[in-house]
Amino acid sequence: MVPFRAKYPGKALWTTYFIVTAPIRLIFMLIYYLPRPLRQNSQWSWHQAIANSAFRMWFSFASTIEIVPPKSLEAGPDKDSWASLNPAPKEFYREILDDADIKPAVIGGMWYNTPYIAGSPEGQGKRVVLHFHGGAFVLGGVRPKEGGNWGPSNLAKRLNAFVFCPQYRLSSYPNGRFPAALQDAVTSYKFLLDLGIPASSIILSGDSAGGNIALALLKYVTSQKDILPSPAAILLWSPWVDLTSDWDDFSTDKRGKADYVPPILGHWALRVFKPASLPADHPYISPLHSPFPVDVPIWITCGSIESLRPEIKAFEEKMKAIPGNIVELLEVENAPHDIFIVGNVLGWGKESEKMVDAANVFLDTHRILS
Q: Are 234 and 214 in contact (CB under 8 A)?
A: yes
| Res 7 pLDDT > 60 | no
Q: Among 63-72, 80-89, 166-175, 196-205, where is mean pLDDT lowest?
A: 63-72
Give the pLDDT band (50/70/90) at residue 248.
low
pLDDT at residue 58, as a whole number: 92
Taking the C-alpha atoms of residue 215 and residue 222, their distance in angstroms, rounded to an integer, is 10
CA nearest to 205, candidates 340, 354, 320: 340
| Res 3 pLDDT > 60 | no
What distance separates the 2 farthest-apart alpha carbons in the chain?
60
In the chain, which residues fall in CATH 3.40.50.1820?
76-365
Phi, psi of 131 (to 5 degrees): -110, 135
Q: Hey, CA dihedral for 304, 308, 310, 312, is it positive or negative?
A: negative
Taking the C-alpha atoms of residue 274 and residue 282, their distance in angstroms, rounded to an integer, is 10
| Res 228 pLDDT > 50 | yes
Q: Beginning with the edge strand found earlier in the chain, give each strand of the sheet holding 82-85 in spatial order.
A: 82-85, 107-112, 161-167, 127-132, 202-207, 233-237, 298-303, 327-332
pLDDT tens-place string over residues 144-192: 888 778 899 999 999 999 999 999 999 999 889 999 999 999 999 999 9
Q: Are 301 and 359 in contact (CB under 8 A)?
A: yes
CA nearest to 239, candidates 169, 109, 161, 327: 327
Identify the architecture of domain 76-365 in CATH. 3-Layer(aba) Sandwich (3.40)
pLDDT at residue 183, as a whole number: 98
**Alpha-carbon dihedral 352, 164, 162, 114, rounded to 10 degrees:** -100
pLDDT at residue 255, as a whole number: 57
Give the pLDDT band (50/70/90) at residue 14.
confident
Taking the C-alpha atoms of residue 79 and residue 68, their distance in angstroms, rounded to an integer, is 23
Span 126-147, average pLDDT: 93
Taking the C-alpha atoms of residue 107 and residue 169, their distance in angstroms, rounded to an integer, is 8
Our separate counts of H helices and E strands in the chain read 11, 8
